[in-house]
Amino acid sequence: MKPGIHPTYGPVVFRDKAADFAFLTRSTLAGLTGGRTVEWEDGNTYPVVDVEISSASHPFYTGTARVMDTAGRVERFERRYGSRADR
């Protein structure tokens, strides 16, 4: 790799404050955390990135996803604007 053009790549803690969930991984965001750090379970201090949603809080992964009523939407659209058969 060409030196000096790639972002730093290192361990980073991603923290979902809404679900009180965090995980440690490697990312190029290691140098872009603005100096925020957190002490991890292993006793080391890592940069931290706060995220709004993760697998712990996303409705698809938590099982709270709503099923869209597509048939009702189509019928409502056809009532409002007419169907192709009406033309």
pLDDT in tens, the chain (87 residues): 688 888 888 999 999 888 888 999 999 887 777 788 999 999 999 999 888 877 777 666 666 666 666 677 778 888 888 866 655
Q: What gap in Å lies between CA 27 and CA 18, rounded to an integer?
A: 22
pLDDT of residue 4: 86
- In the prediction, which pLDDT does 78 show? 83
Provide the pLDDT for residue 77. Answer: 82
Residue 63 confidence (pLDDT): 67
43 conformational bin, left if phi > 0, alpha if psi -120 to 50, beta if neither: left
pLDDT for res 59: 63
Residue 49's nearest CA partner among 66, 32, 61, 62 is: 32
21-27: strand order across its sheet: 21-27, 10-16, 45-51, 37-39
